[in-house]
Amino acid sequence: MALKRVVVTGVGALTPIGNNAAEYKAGLFSGKNGAAPITRFDASLFKTRFACEVKDFDPLVFLDRKEARKVDAFVQYAMVTADEAIADSGINADNTNLQRVGVIFSSGIGGLGTLLDELSNFGRGDGTPRFNPFFIPKAIIDIASGHISIKHGLMGPNYAVVSACASSTHSLINAFDLIRLGKADVMISGGAEAAVNAAGIGGFNAMHALSTRNDSPETASRPFDKDRDGFVLGEGAGALVLEEYEHAVKRGAKIYCEVAGGASTADAHHITAPHPEGLGASNVMRLALEDAGMQADEIDYINVHGTSTPLGDIAETKAIKTVFGDHAYNLNISSTKSMTGHLLGAAGAIEALACLFSITDGVIPPTINHFTDDPEIDPRLNLTFNTAQKRNVRAALSNTFGFGGHNASVILKAIE
């Protein structure tokens, strides 16, 4: 069976550096920083007191008060970005069979804020079980996909993929596979996360994963820098409308780029630490190239996982050199987490968008906050430090890796 081509026809974003896709793109290209002291709760007693929060977001601009109260913040973020992407694509009941339009929308943690609130309220009581009737529907990860489908009448495949920080890249790959196998015409895919709360910060602090650079939050996320000390927690969402190519052409859709291939692997090494030589990472990039039918030298840009952790950044650069050989030195490489922080399960979606923008606009977003070279990272690699670079991007690869050893890579390319 001949596989169908898959393209991107709609985009949406809600991030710490921009509250829609256009603002997010402008923030990426200008090197905007999303880190600041936490406003969501009193973090004064925590080891880390800053994060990359979504700013100036009022859910009541997008949802009525009753609806907003029934959903966790991560679902609010998901619905807003999906709405933007669907509107951008022009998909509707007049030009598309909605029974063949599906949703795969992920989160790494889901309704952590709801869980924290409900258990805190219960703990303050006399032990009598009193819980909000929306507690479970607000907290479960798959509910974002459900709300999006209900709002827009989308009756195709509908579920969530969970693989920690690789979740929304896996969602994109699953959506891509459903379309190219002919099981759907259109898929709304992406991820959302809202874990900037006491449980999120406290939990990651307990495992020493977060930067504690409280005296300089704006420079705390510094991937590949010698003095990096952990990631900065971010929040928000990203959404992409994936569509079968002929279906998109028939309805006269705007086409951003093509989804060329994707792959998944496991490190089979450690629950949180990467394989020291980047074995799982090199395997997943190699398999993604094979899936796309592409050679290594056809990739121009890699948006790396690049979380700003001591071990992860080194392992990923080793993996890139293993897969790309001498071409590694011709690549542009950058970590946009230096600007957005780490959006956990939503990272893959917003970073796929960064790759898409690099293709459509010919601009490589930078890795900001680079001050000191790490002697363990090859200085010949072009890590696009501090300033965006112009480049004609034929194809871009996005890496996301999650706790548990989950690895996912997706490749986007210019439409031919």
User: Which residues have C-beta within 8 Å of that of residue 227, sequence separation ≥ 6?
Assistant: 371, 372
Sheet strands (E) in 28-79: 36-37, 50-51
Please say if 370 is a catalytic residue.
no
Residue 30 has which token pair? 């200008």
Bridge partners of 46, per DSSP, are none
CA 100 to chain centroid: 25
CA distance 239 to 104: 10
List alpha helices for 34-124, DSSP H: 65-69, 73-89, 112-123
Count of alpha carbons within 13 angstroms of residue 17, beta-carbon side: 25
Q: One of 152, 247, 275, 342 is an active-site residue; which one?
A: 342
98-124 as b/e: b if 16+ CB within 10 A: bebbbbbbbbbbbbbbbbbbbeeeeee
Residue 219 has which token pair? 């420079």
Angle, alpha carbons 211-214-215 (nearest 5°): 130
User: Cβ(225)–Cβ(232) under 8 Å?
Assistant: no
User: Which residues have C-beta within 8 Å of that of residue 166, sequence separation ≥ 6?
Assistant: 264, 348, 400, 401, 402, 406, 407, 408
Please say if 270 is a catalytic residue.
no
Q: One of 165, 247, 275, 370 is an active-site residue; which one?
A: 165
User: Cβ(39)–Cβ(53) under 8 Å?
Assistant: yes
Please say if 52 is a catalytic residue.
no
User: Cβ(169)–Cβ(348) under 8 Å?
Assistant: yes
Tell whether the torsion through CA atoms of 302, 308, 309 and 313 is positive or negative: positive
Q: One of 147, 152, 305, 370 is an active-site residue; which one?
A: 305
User: Which residues have C-beta within 8 Å of that of residue 179, sequence separation ≥ 6?
Assistant: 4, 6, 185, 186, 187, 242, 243, 244
CA distance 208 to 205: 5
Active site residues: 165, 305, 342
